[in-house]
Structure 1
Amino acid sequence: MSQYPAIALIGPGAIGTTVAAALHEAGRTPTLCGRTAHDSLLLRVDNHRIEIPGPILTHPSAVKQHYDLVFVAVKSTQVAEAAPWLAALCSEKTVVCVLQNGVEQRSLFAPYLSAQQILPSVVWFPAQRETGNAVWLRSSPRLTLPDVAESHRVLEALQGTRCEVDVTTDFTQVAWRKLMQNALAGLMVLTGRRAGMFSRIDITGLSLALLQECLAVARAEGAALGDEVPQEILAWFHRAPADLSTSILTDRQADRPLEWDCRNGVIQRRGQAHGIATPISDLIVPLLAAASDGPG
């Protein structure tokens, strides 16, 4: 292997474009793979623009080599569509870092990769698609990875870039805390409103009740999260810019399939498995599913 791994990226949306820009700035431009052809990608951040050169490959047959590291930044609803790319880009030695919401990344990718290849992550930055190939990054990008050998390849790739990487020995705790944040953002879909709505007293009460429900499930799944976590997550939403959106709201506004199951359905499913009542999830999950999948 050269000083830095050979890198490809599947899914150059908001998160994928951010990671690609961080790599490109450091002279490690990845091979870009996606559904839509663009000559380049554009990231707007800190009052300037970073252009990531393409082209974006749009068919796996265009891939001519295997890569040391593949970032996958597709939605959980698009994993099967990404499978042909994985077959083309990966050897048995490739590490696949999944930049995706949820706590079930390993099981989602298990049909296509060996267990040793799959590296889950937690993404900690808001990036919003603007128009065409442009993305707006609204805070410093950071990833959290589990403390496993495969994480060193990502650390090597992103060393010295604008994308910070943390490694934790308690990945379960971190992943479930982020899932609680994502689950709460599901309320934005049902109202059609951005983060400013959380300042309402009634939404604050509903939010805390949902987060308490999520906390009970997270603890049953082995996440060591304290009683203060629901209030901390809600406080983050209160501090967020009123116009801050989320990927699931953006997808709803564009009438695309929603990641309702990996963000909210999982709370209901895991709650049932542990015998934990989830009355709020029992209400909002069918509404999110209908908003995603119809009919009507």
Structure 2
Amino acid sequence: MKNENPTVALIGPGAIGTTIAAALHEVGRTPMIFGRTAHAQLELRHDEGKIIVPGPVHTIPAEVAAPFDLVFVAVKTTQIAATAPWLAALCDEQTVVCALQNGVEQPAQLAPFVAGATVLPSVVWFPAQREPDASVWLRAKPRLTLPATPQTHLVVAALRDTRCQVDISDDFKSIAWRKLLQNAVAGLMVLANRRAGMFSRPDITELALAYLRECLTVARAEGANLSDAVPQEIVDGFHRAPVDLGTSILADRQADRPLEWDIRNGVVQRYGRVHSIATPISDVVVPLLAAGSDGPG
């Protein structure tokens, strides 16, 4: 039955995609994997060892025989347009597309490309990073949060009994905005070119808290139910993190790749303007991130 054993594809075998592929492979549900590079296999390292996911990574959309029940999209939002041929081949109106991406605008961003499929947003709660040898290092237990929708059961069925925990929330908007606040303040790491240890500086802690309070005001205007304690909780999380913990936007900056500045940071400025909320810190951070991503210079 589709509900119990959906056919599963994954686009984007990066850090997050490899983690999901490995979790599925470990329980005998290896997805078909699609990407730009034809890797022979994927490797996920974790505290207990490693998982090898056999290839190939398929690179030719025209070779897809039929649409899939469930498609995980694990590419960054800067790469969505480039995935259009895969999405067109893998999706139809019966497909559920689970967006393993940052931001609070996932359905709107993917809708033009998914051939009428339902886009299911998610919040990804695990640090996974690509290593120089192309393996992925998973530094914590993987967990996803999904909204309570009729389509959510398909992802739950696919990931049942895997190492990836799936939580379902009746207030998904609040959780998504909380994660966005965490991602937004991580953008400061790009401007400093430093990892999580930088948050131990009192001046960075003060800046981070001010920025997070600005973001919190915008999130509440958008309907998120978040307490006054959230900025301090997020900063405390960075204080507890390994000093060498990076973030995907920092890795992209150091590799001179386009940055997800708009959906992680620009979104706060954009919605602030919609609600006539002053965003003075965003008004400095966003142009600097945009210039670091797109130039010129």
Provide the residue aligned with 1:31 in structure 2: 32
Provide the residue aligned with 1:267 in structure 2: 268
AA of the residue aligned to 1:176:
W
The alignment status of 1:149 with 2:153, answered yes or no, reads no
- Give the deviation of 1:59 after TM superposition: 1.7
Whole-Å separation in 2 of the counterparts to 1:61 and 1:111? 19
Q: Are the aligned partners of 1:38 and 1:133 in contact in 2 as well (CA < 8 Å)?
A: no
Whole-Å separation in 2 of the counterparts to 1:214 and 1:144? 21
- Give the deviation of 1:104 after TM superposition: 0.5
Query: Where do 5+ consecutive residues of structure 2 fail to align?
Result: none
AA of the residue aligned to 1:177:
R
- Give the deviation of 1:132 after TM superposition: 4.5
SS of match in other structure, 1:110? helix
Task: Give deviations 1:97-151, integer Å, cap 9, x for gaps.
Answer: 0000000101101212367610000000000000343100000000000000111
Provide the residue aligned with 2:95 in structure 1: 94
Provide the residue aligned with 2:119 in structure 1: 118
AA of the residue aligned to 2:277:
I
Task: Give deviations 1:18-41, integer Å, cap 9, x for gaps.
Answer: 000000001000000001111100
Provide the residue aligned with 1:215 in structure 2: 216
Count the aligned residue pairs.
296
Task: Give deviations 1:196-224, integer Å, cap 9, x for gaps.
Answer: 00000000000000000000000000000
Whole-Å separation in 2 of the counterparts to 1:110 and 1:37? 27
Whole-Å separation in 2 of the counterparts to 1:113 and 1:212? 36
Provide the residue aligned with 1:13 in structure 2: 14
AA of the residue aligned to 1:97:
C
Q: Percent identity?
A: 67
The alignment status of 1:49 with 2:50, answered yes or no, reads yes
Provide the residue aligned with 2:227 in structure 1: 226
SS of match in other structure, 2:112? coil
Provide the residue aligned with 1:63 in structure 2: 64
Task: Give deviations 1:85-108, integer Å, cap 9, x for gaps.
Answer: 011011210100000000010110
Whole-Å separation in 2 of the counterparts to 1:170 and 1:114? 28
Whole-Å separation in 2 of the counterparts to 1:133 and 1:92? 35
Distance 1:79 1:47, change over 3 A: same
- Give the deviation of 1:47 after TM superposition: 3.7
Q: Are the aligned partners of 1:77 and 1:259 in contact in 2 as well (CA < 8 Å)?
A: yes
Whole-Å separation in 1 of the counterparts to 2:286 and 2:106? 20
Provide the residue aligned with 2:165 in structure 1: 164
SS of match in other structure, 1:97? strand
Whole-Å separation in 1 of the counterparts to 2:190 and 2:132? 21
Using the size of structure 2 for normalisation, the TM-score is 0.98
Whole-Å separation in 2 of the counterparts to 1:116 and 1:30? 18
Whole-Å separation in 1 of the counterparts to 2:48 and 2:226? 37
Whole-Å separation in 2 of the counterparts to 1:53 and 1:92? 30
Matched ranges for 1:63-82 at <5 A:
63-82=64-83
Whole-Å separation in 1 of the counterparts to 2:161 and 2:277? 44
Q: Are the aligned partners of 1:207 and 1:234 in contact in 2 as well (CA < 8 Å)?
A: yes
Whole-Å separation in 1 of the counterparts to 2:283 and 2:212? 14
AA of the residue aligned to 2:169:
T
SS of match in other structure, 1:35? coil
Distance 1:80 1:260, change over 3 A: same
Matched ranges for 1:167-186 at <5 A:
167-186=168-187
- Give the deviation of 1:65 after TM superposition: 2.1
Q: Are the aligned partners of 1:106 and 1:115 in contact in 2 as well (CA < 8 Å)?
A: no
Farther-moved stretch of structure 1 (233-242 vs 114-123): 114-123
Provide the residue aligned with 2:85 in structure 1: 84
SS of match in other structure, 1:165? strand
Task: Give deviations 1:45-87, integer Å, cap 9, x for gaps.
Answer: 0141100011000120121221110000010111111111011
Instruction: Give RMSD over aligned pairs.
Output: 1.0
Matched ranges for 1:182-261 at <5 A:
182-261=183-262
AA of the residue aligned to 1:33:
F
Whole-Å separation in 1 of the counterparts to 2:10 and 2:99? 10
- Give the deviation of 1:238 after TM superposition: 0.4
Distance 1:131 1:96, change over 3 A: same
Task: Give deviations 1:247-283, integer Å, cap 9, x for gaps.
Answer: 0000000000000000000000000100000000000
Query: Where do 5+ consecutive residues of structure 1 fail to align?
Result: none
